[in-house]
Amino acid sequence: MKEISIGKIKIGEEHSFKIIAEGGSNHMKSVSCAKEMCQAAKENGADIMKWQLNIVEEEMVKDAAILVSKDVLSSVGSIWHFVEKFAMSAEDLNEVKQYCEKIDIEFLCTPFSLKAAEILRDMGVHSFKIGSGETEDLPMIEEIAKMGKPMLISTGMTDLEDIDLTVRAVIEGGVPLALLHCMSVYNSLKTNRCQLGVIKVLRERYNIPVGFSDHTPPEGIQDTLGRLVNQESIIWGAIASGACFIEKHFTLDRKQPDADSKFSLDPYSLQELKNQVRAAESAMGFERRVFEEEKSVAIWAKRSLVANVNIKSGEIITRNMITSKRPGTGIRSKDYKQILGRHTKRDILEGELIMWNDII
């Protein structure tokens, strides 16, 4: 499976690099805000707008979830309280989906439970995005695969052996699949946690399209020496490693009081991402040819055959009679075997360029 279709958008090595804008919880439960985000994402370079469908009681055991997350997510109470506070209803999400169709940007959504996936299926979604937390949830993965829709699956917090199980379950279900390399780190992300080489590992291991779910803020991240590495460098590295699409959190205002906006792209930085992607894409071409701009350099930089000794007219040319020197205006040195054993038509002095009209 060299490509995957998300509605009208084709993702794969043979297609242009695609950008997925992740709305997350940045809509603040406002349908009008979500619609504005969709419009801004489309205008500033996104190919796909992605959302999330949470049904809190379907995806968590309340008391246990609160207990293990209350310290990490103390600002919102716990993961249970976070979802309760920020999750958009299925009805509102369906309205956003219809708006995406109206303005012609592909709609994608992450179900965080099988019930959510069933609701999305009944809405008529064309594909599913599975988050890193559900990557190894085989009961859910297998049931969603039975729905027969393409799946994008993030791989944060998951080792290769568990990814093997997930990929096998989806492929055995006959469903088109792409993976996203992801590090589920949202704060204090450093370059040594990016592990961009894993993109190549995933491509070669599964022979499917691989993308990058990136949480780098627009201003970049620090390396292990404390130096700033900008977002563009990360993007170039991902594309060089073989990523053919990217998912980035998106917001209208990075100062919004939600969990994700502070590391999300705003409309300006999404446009910058698009420009960075296109620049990197143009630099990563696979075509090995001589460009017009190189030809004037080749005239003096390439080498020609030169007489290594005085060669008399009528002599048979042997290997010890010739050497190679600049410029490349005579017989190119790569063609030296074509003149061995042939006769000269004139006397050629040591150090002279040998031309095709000098030999018989």
4-44 pLDDT per residue, tens: 999 999 999 999 999 999 999 999 999 999 999 999 999 99
Helix/strand/coil (H, E, C) string of 282-314?
HHCCCCCCCCHHHHHHHHHHCCEEEECCCECCC
What confidence score (pLDDT) does residue 325 get? 98
C-alpha dist (Å) from residue 54 to 75, 79, 115, 119, 158: 20, 12, 9, 11, 21
What confidence score (pLDDT) does residue 25 get? 92
pTM beyond 0.75: yes
Domains and CATH numbers, the chain: 3-283 (3.20.20.70), 292-358 (3.90.1210.10)
* 3-class secondary structure, 222: strand
What residues contact residue 182 under an 8 Å CB cut-off, 6+ apart?
A: 132, 154, 155, 156, 212, 213, 214
What confidence score (pLDDT) does residue 342 get? 98
Residue with tokens 């296109």: 278
What confidence score (pLDDT) does residue 189 get? 83
Count Cα neighbours of 33 within 13 Å in the Cβ-side half-sphere: 16
Dihedral angle computed from the Cα positions of residues 131, 136, 140 and 146, in that order, rounded to the nearest 10 degrees: 90
Residues of the chain with pLDDT under 70: 1
